[in-house]
Amino acid sequence: MLDFQTALYQLRQFLKENNLRFTNERLTILEEIFQFADHFDAEKLFNHIRKHHRHISRATVYRTLDLLSQIGIITKENLGNDFASYELAFNVPHHDHLICVECGKVIEFSDQLIEDSQQKICKKYNMVMIRHQLQIFGRCKEHQ
């Protein structure tokens, strides 16, 4: 099971292998990401960080998110709004998303019938599935 220490190790290794510097800013951003239990966007993270770490710039947050996504520590998704959403890539079982087009509410779900159907479709077309994202857009109970 991957945890913060494993993510930190992965970050340090990636930076070392690519001749990039390990900075306190990158460490702080990684620590703060582990405080989120759900999806977050760059602005939400930036505003959260700025409360305690005023010296970290918005550009540093965006660059670090791209880096962490490239490493595989977080996943980057478009959940139907104008900006990317992120979540930790590990310790999270596979899930899909229901997204309200009115308020942006995101409901995570998993359905074995859908997973089985996707595998059957891949087999039918001689495709080996590496990954997938399913996003269903609609209106939540409050906006019907």
Map out the domains of the chain as residue ranges.
Answer: 4-88, 96-143
Please give the CATH topology (third level) of the domain spanning 96-143.
Dna Ligase; domain 1 (3.30.1490)
Question: Domain 4-88: which CATH class?
Answer: mainly alpha
Which of 73, 56, 61 lies closest to 9, judged by CA?
73
What pLDDT is attached to residue 67?
95
| Per-residue CA distances from 120 to 20, 95, 126 (Å) | 43, 18, 10
Cα gap 52→40, rounded to integer Å: 18
In tens digits, what is the pLDDT along the chain, a chain of 144 residues? 468 999 999 999 999 999 999 999 999 999 999 988 778 889 999 999 999 888 899 999 999 999 999 998 998 887 666 678 888 887 667 788 898 888 888 888 889 999 999 999 999 999 998 778 788 999 999 999
Query: Residues 46, 66, 138, CA angle at the centre, nearest 5°?
Result: 75
**pTM of the shown model:** 0.70
What are the DSSP calls for 32-97, one per residue? HHTT-SS-EEHHHHHHHHHTT-TT--HHHHHHHHHHHHHHTSEEEEE-SSSSEEEEESSSS---EE
Which of 132, 135, 109, 108 lies closest to 121, judged by CA?
132
SS3 assignment, position 126: coil
Residue 56, token pair as written in the block: 């970290």
What is the side-by-side strand order in the sheet with 40-41?
40-41, 84-88, 74-78
**Tell me, what DSSP letter sits at residue 141?**
G
Find the distance separating the first CA and the last CA of the chain, reported in whole Å. 40
